[in-house]
């Protein structure tokens, strides 16, 4: 990354960079909130909720949890790609610095989900709409659209879902992981809001219009994703 450029910025440079104070605050916050996959109580508590009952019922319940974990793994795999794209295209050194933490966070989330999916019995069916949403975000034309879709939109919407999963999986690795991810995505969303605000201050009408169009394109796919259930669950009518 452009460290010399950053050093220049940090010094009493020609232009005022105080617009980026918010972004830098989230950089500091992200560094402080960093955790490790090994911090979770692997092997001490169950990976996902355990039930009593007939083998069919157990298998069915476990398939549903595998599906929950698989979708989150899928989402974080897309998030790593998005984060590294944001890191490489963001022109502002403060934002680049912040994005180093986003790349690390999303990579760590993926590592944790991979370990959890293995402990829960393996991958389930992928949600095709989530892949569509990922592709649309990765292919978005402008930085303003990418920051908006990834950080302002998704990383805000995912937080209540993490809280819901955590409430339904007390005493498991899944609960702990979802609570950590809700905190991390709160930081990711806050940083995106702070950066998007600066970007839009300097954006023209055309960029702003494209942003609204991108949101409209995503919404129907997002609804499909919200309603999607794996084939197994559809068979059981859950
Ligand atoms: Fe994540
Ligand atoms: Fe995130």
Whole-number pLDDT of residue 92 = 97
CA of 3 to the centre of ligand 1 (A): 26
State the distance from the centre of ligand 1 to the C-alpha of 56, rounded, in angstroms: 33
Better-scored residue on pLDDT, 15 or 4 = 15
Query: pLDDT tens digits, residue range 23-69?
Result: 999 999 999 999 999 999 999 999 999 988 999 999 889 999 999 99
- State the Cα torsion 94-100-192-29 to the nearest 10°: -80
pLDDT of residue 223: 85
pLDDT of residue 199: 95
Q: How far is CA 119 from the centre of its chain?
A: 22
Between the CA of 138 and the centroid of ligand 2 the distance, in Å, is 15
pLDDT at 118: 97
CA of 77 to the centre of ligand 1 (A): 8
**Residue-level pLDDT at 119:** 96
Statement: residue 11 has pLDDT above 80: no
Average pLDDT of the chain, as a whole number? 91
Is 202's pLDDT higher than 50?
yes
> What Rg do the C-alpha atoms of the chain give, in angstroms?
20
Residue 184 alpha carbon to ligand 2 centre in Å: 6
User: Which residues lie near ion ligand 2 (Cβ < 5 Å)?
Assistant: 155, 185, 188
Asked if residue 215 has pLDDT above 60, the reply is yes
Tens of pLDDT along 28-38? Answer: 999 999 999 99
Helix 21-33 to helix 173-201 angle (10° resolution) is: 170
- Looking up tokens 């793994």 gives 73
pLDDT of residue 229: 84
Enter the pTM of the model: 0.89
End-to-end Cα separation, the chain, in angstroms:
48
pLDDT of residue 178: 98
Tens digits of residue pLDDT in 141-196:
999 999 999 999 999 999 999 999 999 999 999 999 999 999 999 999 999 999 99
pLDDT at 123 over 70: yes
Can you tell me the distance from the alpha carbon of 46 to that of 31, in angstroms, rounded to the nearest whole number?
Answer: 29
> Is residue 17 pLDDT above 60, yes or no?
yes
Q: What is the pLDDT of residue 12?
A: 46
pLDDT: which is higher, 98 or 1: 98
Distances (CA, A) of 147 to 58, 86, 137, 155: 41, 8, 9, 10
Q: 104 CA distance to ligand 1 centroid (A)? A: 10
């Amino acid at each position: 990354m452009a460290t010399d450029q950053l050093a220049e910025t940090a010094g009493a440079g020609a232009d005022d960079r105080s617009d980026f104070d918010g972004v830098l605050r989230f950089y500091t916050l992200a560094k402080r909130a960093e955790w490790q996959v090994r911090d979770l109580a692997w092997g001490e508590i169950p990976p996902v909720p355990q039930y009593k009952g007939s083998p069919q019922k157990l298998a069915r319940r476990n398939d549903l949890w595998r599906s929950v974990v698989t979708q989150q793994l899928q989402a974080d795999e897309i998030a790593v790609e998005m984060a590294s794209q944001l890191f490489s295209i963001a022109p502002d050194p403060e934002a680049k610095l912040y994005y180093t933490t986003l790349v690390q966070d999303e990579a760590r989330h993926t590592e944790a989900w991979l370990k959890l999916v293995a402990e829960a019995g393996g991958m389930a069916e992928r949600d095709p709409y989530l892949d569509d949403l990922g592709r649309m975000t990765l292919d978005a034309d402008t930085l303003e659209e990418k920051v908006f879709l990834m950080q302002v939109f998704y990383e805000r919407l995912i937080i209540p879902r993490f809280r819901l999963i955590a409430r339904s999986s007390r005493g498991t690795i899944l609960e702990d992981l979802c609570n950590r991810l809700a905190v991390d995505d709160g930081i990711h969303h806050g940083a995106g809001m702070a950066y998007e605000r600066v970007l839009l201050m300097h954006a023209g009408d055309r960029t702003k219009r494209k942003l609204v169009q991108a949101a409209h394109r995503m919404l129907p796919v997002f609804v499909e994703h919200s309603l999607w259930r794996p084939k197994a669950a559809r068979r059981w009518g859950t």
